[in-house]
Structure 1
Amino acid sequence: MANVISVVTAVHGPSAEYLPDAYKSLLDQQLPEGWEWQWVIQEDGETDTVTPYVPEDSRISFGQGRHGRAGVARTLALSRAAGQFVKVLDADDMLTPGTLARDLAALQRPGICWATSRVLDLLPDGTTVGFDQDPPEGPIERGAVLEHWTAHDFRAQVHPATLCVRRDLLLALGGWMALPASEDTGLLMALDAVSQGWFTAETGLLYRKWPGQSTADAAHAHEGERSARMAVVEARARALAALDEWRVEA
């Protein structure tokens, strides 16, 4: 029986048209012998707009649920995720060739519970832009992401949209945070608070920039809400870090 890595994708109407691109990036993945991927797509809502864009493939599980934003959709998707590891892939993003294999290699290193990789922003004209604060490839010590995030205006040195994580740890932390945005950052900080991660310097994700994405919404940058989101993300991470019984074994 093959080992499975579950790729979890939250989608809503405006982003559904990008699902075929995400699917193509999955088809381009070459996994190690004995591994296969499962794609768990969860619509944030119950409409007729997403289904036409869901490819027909026995490895795909599609579900719908009440509107609650991306974090709720991803957490609901966990009910159908059969893999030992869970990889995040937003509906409007694309994996680069080899990403899943690199994630699996990282997660099978002693002590590593989650993995991230370099990101390139994919602009509407097809060009890409990198990030100038990537850490060196290798292990990320427990607490290092939170330290960098608080010192750099709540911007982490690794991108939560690239996360691949042990499913048992993801469930133990309750999935993604119940926030209107930054729910993936909240998960990243929680993982960092209790376990060691990994960063791969080779680009693993093309992060699409387009007007309809949630981070382009003016509400995303509303200072009052942003401050509240960051405060609860930080408080949760520090509370987890302070619990002596949190000793994650890989």
Structure 2
Amino acid sequence: MPLLSIVTPSHQPVREQLLEAYESVRSQKLPADWEVEWVIQEDGDTGAVRDILPGDPMVKFATGRRGGVALTRSIALARAGGELVRNLDQDDVLTPGALARDIDVLSSDPLVQWTTSPALDLMPDGSTVGFDTDPAPGRIEPGFVLEHWRAHDYRLPVHPTTICIRRELAVALGGWMGVPGSDDTGLLVPASVVSYGYFHSEVGLLYRKWPGQETAATGHYAPAEWTLRMRLIEQRAETVRRLWPQIIGTR
């Protein structure tokens, strides 16, 4: 049966948040001929996830050396067996039908190599906040994401953590980019210049906003490091576009 792999890096998970993420995965309704696995890779070797989650054959958990989010996410990719790979952070929540919509597009349109969807910020009080800058739903042309990102002070038109991508493309691009933050941007932007994407109209993710998240740390936006990360991601995208022989999916 075809398989979709959800990959999740984990470090010092909050019990209630991880259980909510688990329920959002467990409750997904898939097409009849598809299966899902949740590949969780701990950034470290405490076994904390095993102590929180119930025994479930869907969950594939492993520990490893400390290495940061990007390295841990890519190790999870190495363990993933699915032809499609969906990102999910340990504190976020999938919405009902999110995986089925990814599968529907990627199994029916060979030109599309990745999908993204609207995300709502999930606030500490349980309320949600949306955005009015989402692109129109449907196919995303190669180059659109990069040019928008450049023109809007390195702000993406789509939320990179919602990505579901063909595993072959993710592996060819080296997985999530080995930078201290913005590793999901470092995968999405290069993927978007060499292939078509797709933006769903339906919300696919609740993105939890809380003090413990990586993007809430002051260092994430330190000007010197931020500039270097954005410069390297941009150079990676331009180099991939220049050296890649053709747009993926058109051959």
Question: TM bucket by the smaller chain?
Answer: over 0.9
Quick check: 2:13–2:90 contact (8 Å CA) kept in 1? Answer: no
| Paired letter, 1:44 | D
Quick check: 1:94–1:205 contact (8 Å CA) kept in 2? Answer: yes
Map Cα deviations across residues 59-92 of structure 1 (whole Å, 9 max, x no partner). Answer: 1110111112111111111222111100001000
User: How does 1:52-201 map onto structure 2 within 5 Å?
Assistant: 52-108=51-107, 109-201=109-201
Quick check: 1:195–1:247 contact (8 Å CA) kept in 2? Answer: yes
Q: What is the rounded CA distance, in whole Å, between the counterparts of 1:158 and 1:148 in structure 2?
A: 10
Which stretches in structure 1 are left out of the alignment for 5+ residues? none
Q: What is the rounded CA distance, in whole Å, between the counterparts of 1:170 and 1:247 in structure 2?
A: 15
Quick check: 1:240–1:246 contact (8 Å CA) kept in 2? Answer: no
The worse-fitting range, judged by mean Cα deviation, of 79-88 and 223-232 is: 79-88
Partner of 1:8: 7
The two structures have a TM-score, normalised by structure 1, of: 0.96
Note closer, same or farther for the CA distance 1:176–1:58 as it changes in structure 2 (3 Å cut): same
Q: What is the rounded CA distance, in whole Å, between the counterparts of 2:16 and 2:51 in structure 1?
A: 9
Shift of 1:15: 4.3
SS at match of 2:66: coil
RMSD: 1.2
Q: What is the rounded CA distance, in whole Å, between the counterparts of 2:14 and 2:77 in structure 1?
A: 20
The worse-fitting range, judged by mean Cα deviation, of 228-237 and 5-14 is: 5-14
SS at match of 2:203: strand
Note closer, same or farther for the CA distance 1:48–1:30 as it changes in structure 2 (3 Å cut): closer
The worse-fitting range, judged by mean Cα deviation, of 184-193 and 236-245 is: 236-245
| Paired letter, 2:88 | L
The worse-fitting range, judged by mean Cα deviation, of 82-91 and 54-63 is: 54-63
Shift of 1:17: 4.4
Shift of 1:18: 1.6
Which stretches in structure 2 are left out of the alignment for 5+ residues? none
Quick check: 1:16–1:91 contact (8 Å CA) kept in 2? Answer: no
Note closer, same or farther for the CA distance 1:67–1:244 as it changes in structure 2 (3 Å cut): closer
Partner of 2:29: 30
Quick check: 2:122–2:209 contact (8 Å CA) kept in 1? Answer: yes
Partner of 1:43: 42
Q: What is the rounded CA distance, in whole Å, between the counterparts of 2:32 and 2:49 in structure 1?
A: 33
Aligned length: 249
Note closer, same or farther for the CA distance 1:244–1:50 as it changes in structure 2 (3 Å cut): closer
Partner of 1:212: 212
SS at match of 2:48: coil
Shift of 1:243: 1.8
Shift of 1:47: 1.9
The two structures have a TM-score, normalised by structure 2, of: 0.96
| Paired letter, 1:100 | L
Shift of 1:246: 4.0
Partner of 2:238: 238
